[in-house]
Structure 1
Protein backbone atom coordinates (compact mmCIF):
# COMPACT_ATOMS: atom_id res chain seq x y z
CA UNK A 1 0.00 0.00 0.00
CA UNK A 2 1.19 3.53 -0.79
CA UNK A 3 0.01 6.84 0.67
CA UNK A 4 -0.46 9.98 -1.40
CA UNK A 5 1.09 12.82 0.56
CA UNK A 6 1.55 16.59 0.40
CA UNK A 7 3.74 18.84 2.52
CA UNK A 8 2.69 22.39 3.44
CA UNK A 9 5.10 24.73 5.23
CA UNK A 10 5.66 28.45 4.68
CA UNK A 11 9.39 28.01 5.34
CA UNK A 12 10.90 26.74 2.06
CA UNK A 13 13.88 25.05 3.74
CA UNK A 14 11.62 23.22 6.21
CA UNK A 15 9.32 22.09 3.40
CA UNK A 16 12.25 20.89 1.29
CA UNK A 17 13.68 18.93 4.23
CA UNK A 18 10.41 17.06 4.77
CA UNK A 19 10.11 16.47 1.03
CA UNK A 20 13.57 14.88 1.03
CA UNK A 21 12.46 12.62 3.89
CA UNK A 22 9.26 11.62 2.09
CA UNK A 23 11.19 10.64 -1.04
CA UNK A 24 13.24 8.15 0.99
CA UNK A 25 10.18 6.21 2.15
CA UNK A 26 8.92 3.63 -0.37
CA UNK A 27 5.27 3.69 0.73
CA UNK A 28 5.00 7.50 0.50
CA UNK A 29 4.06 9.08 -2.85
CA UNK A 30 4.82 12.80 -2.60
CA UNK A 31 2.24 14.64 -4.72
CA UNK A 32 3.41 18.16 -3.94
CA UNK A 33 5.35 20.46 -1.65
CA UNK A 34 3.78 23.87 -0.97
CA UNK A 35 4.58 27.05 0.96
CA UNK A 36 0.96 27.92 1.75
CA UNK A 37 -2.29 26.07 2.27
CA UNK A 38 -4.01 27.94 -0.56
CA UNK A 39 -1.38 26.70 -3.03
CA UNK A 40 -2.13 23.11 -2.05
CA UNK A 41 -5.92 23.23 -2.42
CA UNK A 42 -5.97 22.37 -6.15
CA UNK A 43 -3.78 19.29 -5.68
CA UNK A 44 -5.77 18.11 -2.65
CA UNK A 45 -9.04 18.45 -4.59
CA UNK A 46 -7.82 16.78 -7.77
CA UNK A 47 -5.86 13.91 -6.24
CA UNK A 48 -6.82 11.51 -3.51
CA UNK A 49 -4.50 12.78 -0.78
CA UNK A 50 -4.22 10.45 2.19
CA UNK A 51 -1.77 12.37 4.35
CA UNK A 52 -0.76 16.01 4.83
CA UNK A 53 2.28 17.16 6.78
CA UNK A 54 1.00 20.59 7.75
CA UNK A 55 2.75 23.50 9.43
CA UNK A 56 0.58 25.29 12.00
CA UNK A 57 1.84 28.88 11.92
CA UNK A 58 1.38 30.17 8.37
CA UNK A 59 0.14 33.40 6.75
CA UNK A 60 -3.30 33.69 5.10
CA UNK A 61 -4.70 30.62 6.82
CA UNK A 62 -3.17 28.71 9.71
CA UNK A 63 -2.67 24.97 9.67
CA UNK A 64 -5.32 24.53 12.36
CA UNK A 65 -7.89 26.50 10.34
CA UNK A 66 -7.01 24.62 7.16
CA UNK A 67 -7.30 21.23 8.89
CA UNK A 68 -10.90 22.01 9.84
CA UNK A 69 -11.96 22.26 6.18
CA UNK A 70 -10.17 19.12 4.99
CA UNK A 71 -12.30 16.01 4.48
CA UNK A 72 -12.14 13.22 7.05
CA UNK A 73 -10.60 10.85 4.48
CA UNK A 74 -7.35 12.85 4.64
CA UNK A 75 -5.30 12.62 7.83
CA UNK A 76 -3.17 15.45 9.17
CA UNK A 77 0.25 15.40 10.82
CA UNK A 78 1.03 18.84 12.22
CA UNK A 79 4.58 20.16 12.15
CA UNK A 80 5.34 22.91 14.64
CA UNK A 81 8.09 24.49 16.70
CA UNK A 82 5.71 24.95 19.63
CA UNK A 83 4.63 21.97 21.73
CA UNK A 84 1.58 23.82 23.13
CA UNK A 85 -0.12 23.37 19.76
CA UNK A 86 -0.26 19.60 20.24
CA UNK A 87 -3.51 19.78 22.22
CA UNK A 88 -5.12 22.01 19.59
CA UNK A 89 -3.98 19.56 16.94
CA UNK A 90 -5.75 16.65 18.56
CA UNK A 91 -8.94 18.74 18.80
CA UNK A 92 -9.10 18.72 15.01
CA UNK A 93 -8.46 14.97 14.96
CA UNK A 94 -4.84 15.11 13.84
CA UNK A 95 -3.15 11.76 13.41
CA UNK A 96 -0.04 13.06 15.18
CA UNK A 97 2.30 16.03 15.40
CA UNK A 98 6.02 16.52 14.86
CA UNK A 99 8.02 19.01 16.89
CA UNK A 100 10.66 20.95 14.93
CA UNK A 101 13.51 20.38 14.30
CA UNK A 102 12.30 17.12 12.76
CA UNK A 103 14.68 14.20 12.31
CA UNK A 104 14.24 11.56 9.63
CA UNK A 105 13.73 8.93 12.35
CA UNK A 106 10.76 10.84 13.82
CA UNK A 107 9.33 11.49 10.35
CA UNK A 108 9.59 7.79 9.48
CA UNK A 109 7.96 6.80 12.77
CA UNK A 110 4.92 8.98 12.06
CA UNK A 111 4.77 7.81 8.43
CA UNK A 112 4.62 4.19 9.64
CA UNK A 113 1.85 5.16 12.06
CA UNK A 114 -0.10 6.63 9.14
CA UNK A 115 0.44 3.47 7.08
CA UNK A 116 -0.82 1.31 9.97
CA UNK A 117 -3.89 3.54 10.27
CA UNK A 118 -4.83 3.25 6.59
CA UNK A 119 -4.12 -0.49 6.41
CA UNK A 120 -6.34 -1.06 9.46
CA UNK A 121 -9.03 1.18 7.96
CA UNK A 122 -9.02 -0.75 4.67
CA UNK A 123 -9.10 -4.06 6.50
CA UNK A 124 -12.02 -2.82 8.57
CA UNK A 125 -13.96 -1.77 5.45
CA UNK A 126 -13.41 -5.20 3.89
CA UNK A 127 -14.67 -6.95 7.02
CA UNK A 128 -17.71 -4.70 7.23
CA UNK A 129 -18.59 -5.49 3.62
CA UNK A 130 -18.06 -9.24 4.06
CA UNK A 131 -19.97 -9.18 7.38
CA UNK A 132 -17.83 -11.70 9.19
CA UNK A 133 -14.52 -11.91 11.01
CA UNK A 134 -12.24 -14.69 12.17
CA UNK A 135 -11.14 -14.57 15.82
CA UNK A 136 -8.66 -16.72 17.70
CA UNK A 137 -10.37 -18.93 20.26
CA UNK A 138 -9.06 -22.08 21.97
CA UNK A 139 -6.08 -22.30 19.58
CA UNK A 140 -8.38 -22.17 16.55
CA UNK A 141 -9.66 -19.51 14.16
CA UNK A 142 -13.40 -19.21 14.70
CA UNK A 143 -15.63 -17.54 12.11
CA UNK A 144 -18.08 -15.05 13.60
CA UNK A 145 -20.86 -13.75 11.34
CA UNK A 146 -22.09 -10.28 12.25
CA UNK A 147 -25.73 -11.35 11.90
CA UNK A 148 -25.24 -14.04 14.57
CA UNK A 149 -23.92 -11.70 17.28
CA UNK A 150 -26.26 -10.64 20.09
CA UNK A 151 -23.73 -8.62 22.06
CA UNK A 152 -20.08 -8.56 23.04
CA UNK A 153 -18.70 -8.33 26.56
CA UNK A 154 -15.25 -7.20 27.61
CA UNK A 155 -13.81 -9.46 30.32
CA UNK A 156 -10.38 -8.17 31.43
CA UNK A 157 -8.04 -8.90 28.48
CA UNK A 158 -10.66 -10.93 26.62
CA UNK A 159 -13.86 -10.30 24.70
CA UNK A 160 -16.80 -12.69 24.72
CA UNK A 161 -19.12 -12.94 21.71
CA UNK A 162 -22.68 -13.95 22.65
CA UNK A 163 -24.23 -15.80 19.72
CA UNK A 164 -27.93 -15.53 18.82
CA UNK A 165 -28.67 -19.12 17.79
CA UNK A 166 -27.81 -20.51 21.21
CA UNK A 167 -24.55 -22.10 20.08
CA UNK A 168 -21.44 -21.86 22.22
CA UNK A 169 -20.31 -18.32 22.99
CA UNK A 170 -16.83 -17.41 21.78
CA UNK A 171 -14.04 -16.02 23.97
CA UNK A 172 -11.01 -14.38 22.36
CA UNK A 173 -7.91 -12.55 23.60
CA UNK A 174 -8.32 -8.97 22.31
CA UNK A 175 -9.59 -5.60 23.52
CA UNK A 176 -12.97 -3.95 23.04
CA UNK A 177 -11.58 -0.97 21.14
CA UNK A 178 -10.13 -3.22 18.44
CA UNK A 179 -13.42 -5.12 18.08
CA UNK A 180 -15.36 -1.86 17.88
CA UNK A 181 -13.19 -0.63 14.99
CA UNK A 182 -14.13 -3.61 12.82
CA UNK A 183 -17.89 -3.58 13.42
CA UNK A 184 -20.33 -1.39 11.45
CA UNK A 185 -21.72 1.56 13.41
CA UNK A 186 -24.47 2.19 14.53
CA UNK A 187 -25.58 -1.38 13.87
CA UNK A 188 -23.12 -2.32 16.62
CA UNK A 189 -23.04 0.27 19.37
CA UNK A 190 -20.89 0.65 22.46
CA UNK A 191 -23.25 1.16 25.39
CA UNK A 192 -20.77 0.66 28.23
CA UNK A 193 -17.02 0.18 28.60
CA UNK A 194 -17.79 -3.56 28.92
CA UNK A 195 -20.53 -3.99 26.29
CA UNK A 196 -21.08 -3.62 22.55
CA UNK A 197 -24.64 -4.41 21.47
CA UNK A 198 -26.01 -5.53 18.09
CA UNK A 199 -28.80 -2.96 18.08
CA UNK A 200 -31.18 -4.66 15.57
CA UNK A 201 -31.25 -7.65 17.96
CA UNK A 202 -32.57 -5.51 20.82
CA UNK A 203 -36.22 -6.26 21.59
CA UNK A 204 -36.61 -4.58 24.99
CA UNK A 205 -35.19 -1.54 26.78
CA UNK A 206 -36.10 -1.26 30.45
CA UNK A 207 -35.20 1.87 32.44
CA UNK A 208 -32.27 2.57 30.21
CA UNK A 209 -30.98 -0.96 30.39
CA UNK A 210 -30.86 -3.17 27.33
CA UNK A 211 -32.42 -6.57 27.89
CA UNK A 212 -30.90 -9.55 26.11
CA UNK A 213 -32.72 -12.69 27.24
CA UNK A 214 -32.20 -12.81 30.98
CA UNK A 215 -29.32 -10.35 30.90
CA UNK A 216 -29.75 -6.65 31.71
CA UNK A 217 -26.95 -4.62 30.13
CA UNK A 218 -26.40 -1.16 31.64
CA UNK A 219 -26.05 1.94 29.46
CA UNK A 220 -23.32 4.10 30.97
CA UNK A 221 -23.34 7.89 31.08
CA UNK A 222 -20.44 8.09 28.61
CA UNK A 223 -22.45 6.40 25.85
CA UNK A 224 -25.93 7.54 26.85
CA UNK A 225 -26.31 10.30 24.23
CA UNK A 226 -25.44 8.05 21.27
CA UNK A 227 -27.78 5.32 22.46
CA UNK A 228 -30.56 7.83 23.15
CA UNK A 229 -30.21 9.27 19.65
CA UNK A 230 -30.42 5.78 18.11
CA UNK A 231 -33.50 4.92 20.17
CA UNK A 232 -35.25 8.18 19.22
CA UNK A 233 -34.55 7.58 15.53
CA UNK A 234 -36.30 4.21 15.81
CA UNK A 235 -39.22 5.19 18.04
CA UNK A 236 -42.80 6.02 17.02
CA UNK A 237 -44.37 8.64 19.27
Structure 2
Protein backbone atom coordinates (compact mmCIF):
# COMPACT_ATOMS: atom_id res chain seq x y z
CA UNK A 1 0.00 0.00 0.00
CA UNK A 2 1.26 3.45 -0.88
CA UNK A 3 2.05 5.72 2.08
CA UNK A 4 1.12 9.40 1.88
CA UNK A 5 3.24 12.04 3.59
CA UNK A 6 0.90 14.61 5.07
CA UNK A 7 0.81 17.77 7.15
CA UNK A 8 -1.96 19.25 9.28
CA UNK A 9 -2.62 23.01 9.29
CA UNK A 10 -4.97 24.61 11.83
CA UNK A 11 -4.77 27.61 14.15
CA UNK A 12 -6.84 25.86 16.84
CA UNK A 13 -4.64 23.63 19.05
CA UNK A 14 -7.45 21.20 19.92
CA UNK A 15 -8.36 20.70 16.25
CA UNK A 16 -4.67 20.26 15.40
CA UNK A 17 -4.25 17.57 18.05
CA UNK A 18 -7.43 15.75 17.04
CA UNK A 19 -6.48 15.53 13.36
CA UNK A 20 -2.96 14.49 14.34
CA UNK A 21 -4.45 11.59 16.33
CA UNK A 22 -6.52 10.57 13.30
CA UNK A 23 -3.45 10.65 11.04
CA UNK A 24 -1.39 8.55 13.45
CA UNK A 25 -4.02 5.78 13.58
CA UNK A 26 -4.34 5.61 9.76
CA UNK A 27 -1.88 3.03 8.33
CA UNK A 28 -1.34 4.68 4.95
CA UNK A 29 -0.73 8.20 6.33
CA UNK A 30 2.62 9.45 7.60
CA UNK A 31 2.68 12.70 9.58
CA UNK A 32 5.46 14.98 8.35
CA UNK A 33 4.51 17.99 10.48
CA UNK A 34 1.92 20.21 12.16
CA UNK A 35 1.50 23.91 11.40
CA UNK A 36 -0.39 26.68 13.19
CA UNK A 37 -0.77 28.82 10.07
CA UNK A 38 -0.38 28.84 6.30
CA UNK A 39 3.05 30.48 6.41
CA UNK A 40 4.47 27.62 8.47
CA UNK A 41 2.96 25.23 5.93
CA UNK A 42 4.65 27.08 3.06
CA UNK A 43 8.03 26.68 4.74
CA UNK A 44 7.46 22.99 5.43
CA UNK A 45 6.48 22.36 1.82
CA UNK A 46 9.86 23.75 0.78
CA UNK A 47 11.63 21.29 3.06
CA UNK A 48 9.55 18.13 2.79
CA UNK A 49 8.07 16.01 0.02
CA UNK A 50 4.37 16.30 0.90
CA UNK A 51 1.51 14.40 -0.73
CA UNK A 52 -1.49 15.57 1.29
CA UNK A 53 -2.47 18.64 3.33
CA UNK A 54 -5.29 18.72 5.87
CA UNK A 55 -6.00 22.45 6.13
CA UNK A 56 -8.44 24.63 8.02
CA UNK A 57 -9.97 27.35 5.86
CA UNK A 58 -10.57 30.12 8.38
CA UNK A 59 -7.16 31.21 9.66
CA UNK A 60 -5.66 34.64 10.39
CA UNK A 61 -3.52 36.53 7.85
CA UNK A 62 -3.76 33.93 5.06
CA UNK A 63 -6.78 31.63 4.92
CA UNK A 64 -6.82 28.14 3.47
CA UNK A 65 -8.47 29.10 0.19
CA UNK A 66 -5.92 31.83 -0.54
CA UNK A 67 -3.12 29.46 0.43
CA UNK A 68 -4.42 26.83 -1.98
CA UNK A 69 -4.13 29.28 -4.87
CA UNK A 70 -0.39 29.60 -4.17
CA UNK A 71 0.13 25.84 -4.04
CA UNK A 72 2.52 24.36 -6.58
CA UNK A 73 3.74 20.83 -7.04
CA UNK A 74 2.01 17.52 -6.35
CA UNK A 75 0.55 18.14 -2.86
CA UNK A 76 -3.24 17.83 -2.71
CA UNK A 77 -5.64 19.41 -0.23
CA UNK A 78 -8.41 18.23 2.05
CA UNK A 79 -10.11 21.21 3.69
CA UNK A 80 -11.36 21.13 7.28
CA UNK A 81 -13.72 23.86 8.47
CA UNK A 82 -16.68 24.63 10.71
CA UNK A 83 -18.45 26.60 7.97
CA UNK A 84 -20.24 24.73 5.19
CA UNK A 85 -20.52 27.82 2.96
CA UNK A 86 -16.92 27.18 1.90
CA UNK A 87 -17.70 23.83 0.28
CA UNK A 88 -18.25 25.19 -3.24
CA UNK A 89 -15.17 27.40 -3.00
CA UNK A 90 -13.17 24.40 -1.82
CA UNK A 91 -13.99 22.42 -4.93
CA UNK A 92 -13.29 25.43 -7.15
CA UNK A 93 -9.65 25.25 -6.07
CA UNK A 94 -9.62 21.51 -6.79
CA UNK A 95 -9.56 20.21 -3.22
CA UNK A 96 -9.83 16.43 -2.96
CA UNK A 97 -12.42 16.61 -0.21
CA UNK A 98 -14.07 18.80 2.41
CA UNK A 99 -14.54 17.85 6.08
CA UNK A 100 -17.10 19.80 8.10
CA UNK A 101 -16.19 20.20 11.76
CA UNK A 102 -16.87 18.46 14.02
CA UNK A 103 -16.08 15.27 12.12
CA UNK A 104 -15.32 11.82 13.47
CA UNK A 105 -12.65 9.33 12.47
CA UNK A 106 -14.97 7.51 10.05
CA UNK A 107 -15.48 10.70 8.04
CA UNK A 108 -11.77 11.48 8.22
CA UNK A 109 -10.84 8.00 7.00
CA UNK A 110 -13.25 8.27 4.06
CA UNK A 111 -11.61 11.53 2.93
CA UNK A 112 -8.09 10.16 3.42
CA UNK A 113 -9.01 7.02 1.46
CA UNK A 114 -10.21 9.20 -1.40
CA UNK A 115 -6.76 10.81 -1.47
CA UNK A 116 -5.09 7.38 -1.46
CA UNK A 117 -7.28 6.25 -4.35
CA UNK A 118 -6.41 9.39 -6.31
CA UNK A 119 -2.67 8.82 -5.91
CA UNK A 120 -2.88 5.12 -6.75
CA UNK A 121 -4.86 5.81 -9.92
CA UNK A 122 -2.45 8.58 -10.93
CA UNK A 123 0.55 6.32 -10.31
CA UNK A 124 -1.03 3.48 -12.28
CA UNK A 125 -1.76 5.80 -15.20
CA UNK A 126 1.84 7.03 -15.20
CA UNK A 127 3.12 3.45 -15.25
CA UNK A 128 0.77 2.49 -18.09
CA UNK A 129 1.99 5.45 -20.14
CA UNK A 130 5.63 4.59 -19.42
CA UNK A 131 6.15 7.71 -17.30
CA UNK A 132 8.78 7.98 -14.56
CA UNK A 133 8.84 10.37 -11.63
CA UNK A 134 12.53 11.10 -12.14
CA UNK A 135 14.37 10.69 -15.42
CA UNK A 136 17.68 8.87 -15.50
CA UNK A 137 20.54 11.33 -15.71
CA UNK A 138 24.31 11.35 -15.38
CA UNK A 139 24.89 14.89 -14.10
CA UNK A 140 23.30 18.00 -12.62
CA UNK A 141 23.92 21.67 -13.23
CA UNK A 142 23.84 23.76 -10.05
CA UNK A 143 24.37 27.47 -9.58
CA UNK A 144 27.14 28.37 -7.15
CA UNK A 145 28.83 31.76 -6.80
CA UNK A 146 27.46 33.08 -10.10
CA UNK A 147 28.56 29.97 -12.00
CA UNK A 148 26.70 26.92 -13.29
CA UNK A 149 28.68 23.89 -12.14
CA UNK A 150 28.32 20.50 -13.78
CA UNK A 151 28.24 17.74 -11.15
CA UNK A 152 28.39 14.05 -12.02
CA UNK A 153 25.74 12.00 -10.24
CA UNK A 154 28.32 9.29 -9.54
CA UNK A 155 30.48 11.79 -7.60
CA UNK A 156 27.77 12.82 -5.12
CA UNK A 157 28.11 11.53 -1.55
CA UNK A 158 25.27 13.39 0.16
CA UNK A 159 23.40 16.69 0.42
CA UNK A 160 22.98 18.75 3.59
CA UNK A 161 20.13 21.24 3.80
CA UNK A 162 20.72 24.49 5.69
CA UNK A 163 17.56 26.60 5.61
CA UNK A 164 17.70 28.49 2.27
CA UNK A 165 20.68 26.70 0.71
CA UNK A 166 22.31 23.29 0.55
CA UNK A 167 25.79 21.83 0.70
CA UNK A 168 26.70 19.17 -1.86
CA UNK A 169 29.48 16.83 -0.77
CA UNK A 170 31.43 15.07 -3.52
CA UNK A 171 33.98 12.28 -3.46
CA UNK A 172 37.61 13.37 -3.85
CA UNK A 173 36.66 16.94 -2.93
CA UNK A 174 37.06 18.19 0.64
CA UNK A 175 35.10 21.44 0.32
CA UNK A 176 31.35 21.11 -0.36
CA UNK A 177 29.57 23.09 -3.08
CA UNK A 178 27.05 25.64 -1.80
CA UNK A 179 23.95 26.44 -3.82
CA UNK A 180 20.85 28.52 -3.10
CA UNK A 181 18.31 25.74 -3.51
CA UNK A 182 16.01 23.75 -1.27
CA UNK A 183 16.76 20.15 -0.37
CA UNK A 184 13.30 19.13 -1.56
CA UNK A 185 13.70 20.66 -5.01
CA UNK A 186 17.09 19.08 -5.71
CA UNK A 187 15.89 15.69 -4.37
CA UNK A 188 13.14 15.73 -7.01
CA UNK A 189 15.82 16.03 -9.71
CA UNK A 190 17.78 12.97 -8.60
CA UNK A 191 17.51 9.39 -9.91
CA UNK A 192 14.85 7.84 -7.70
CA UNK A 193 16.52 4.52 -6.86
CA UNK A 194 19.98 5.91 -6.14
CA UNK A 195 19.23 8.53 -3.48
CA UNK A 196 17.17 8.60 -0.31
CA UNK A 197 16.18 11.24 2.19
CA UNK A 198 16.99 9.92 5.67
CA UNK A 199 16.67 13.14 7.66
CA UNK A 200 15.00 16.51 7.31
CA UNK A 201 18.43 17.94 6.51
CA UNK A 202 20.11 15.07 4.61
CA UNK A 203 19.76 13.22 1.32
CA UNK A 204 22.33 10.48 0.75
CA UNK A 205 23.65 8.49 -2.20
CA UNK A 206 22.74 4.92 -1.29
CA UNK A 207 25.71 3.39 -3.09
CA UNK A 208 28.12 5.56 -1.08
CA UNK A 209 27.16 4.12 2.32
CA UNK A 210 30.24 2.54 3.91
CA UNK A 211 28.52 1.13 6.98
CA UNK A 212 25.38 1.31 9.11
CA UNK A 213 25.56 1.44 12.89
CA UNK A 214 22.30 1.51 14.82
CA UNK A 215 20.42 4.57 13.52
CA UNK A 216 23.37 6.10 11.70
CA UNK A 217 24.94 5.69 8.29
CA UNK A 218 28.61 6.37 7.67
CA UNK A 219 29.78 7.91 4.40
CA UNK A 220 33.52 8.57 4.15
CA UNK A 221 33.77 9.12 7.90
CA UNK A 222 30.66 11.32 8.18
CA UNK A 223 27.99 9.96 10.52
CA UNK A 224 24.43 10.87 9.58
CA UNK A 225 21.46 9.96 11.77
CA UNK A 226 18.43 8.34 10.17
CA UNK A 227 15.55 10.30 11.73
CA UNK A 228 12.39 8.60 12.92
CA UNK A 229 10.27 10.07 10.11
CA UNK A 230 12.38 8.29 7.46
CA UNK A 231 13.41 5.19 9.40
CA UNK A 232 10.76 2.81 8.03
CA UNK A 233 11.61 3.59 4.38
CA UNK A 234 15.31 3.19 5.09
CA UNK A 235 14.86 -0.10 6.93
CA UNK A 236 12.75 -1.41 4.05
CA UNK A 237 15.54 -0.53 1.61
CA UNK A 238 18.16 -2.25 3.81
CA UNK A 239 16.00 -5.37 4.16
CA UNK A 240 15.59 -5.66 0.39
CA UNK A 241 19.33 -5.32 -0.14
CA UNK A 242 20.62 -7.56 2.66
CA UNK A 243 21.54 -11.24 2.61
TM-score (norm 2): 0.52
Aligned counterparts of 1:25 and 1:127: Cα–Cα separation in 2: 28
The equivalent of 2:120 in structure 1 is 119
Q: Residue 71 of structure 1 aligns to a residue in which SS? A: coil
Alignment of 1:39-188 (within 5 A): 39-129=40-130
Secondary structure of 2:129 counterpart: helix
Kindly provide the CA deviation profile for residues 43-67 of structure 1, in whole angstroms up to 9, marking residues without a partner as x: 1111110000010000010000001
State the alpha-carbon separation in 2 of the partners of residues 128 and 89 from structure 1: 30
| 2:192 counterpart residue number | none
Write the deviation string for residues 30-88 of structure 1: whole angstroms up to 9, x where unpaired.
00111101112221111110000010000010000001111251110000111110000
Moved over 3 A (4+): none
1:19 is matched with which residue? 20
Q: CA offsets per residue over residues 73-105 of structure 1, 9 Å max, x none?
A: 111000011111000001101001000001011
Q: TM-score, normalised by structure 1?
A: 0.54
Paired with 1:121 and 1:71, the residues of 2 have a C-alpha distance of 17
Structure 1 counterpart of 2:29: 28
**3-state SS in 1 of match to 2:128:** helix
User: Which residue number in structure 2 is paired with residue 200 of structure 1?
Assistant: none
SS of aligned partner of 1:84? helix
Which residue does the alignment assign to 1:231? Answer: none
Displacement of 1:119: 0.4
SS of 1:88 mapped into structure 2: helix
Q: How many Å separate the matches in 2 of 1:71 and 1:4?
A: 16
1:22 positional shift: 0.2
After superposition, the C-alpha distances for 1:118-154 in whole angstroms (9 at most, x for unaligned) are: 0000000011117xxxxxxxxxxxxxxxxxxxxxxxx
The equivalent of 2:7 in structure 1 is 6
SS in 1 for 2:95: coil
Q: Secondary structure at the match of 2:102?
A: coil
Structure 2 stretches lacking a partner, 5+ long: 132-243
Q: How many residues align?
A: 130
Aligned partners of 2:73, 2:66: CA distance in 1, in Å? 14
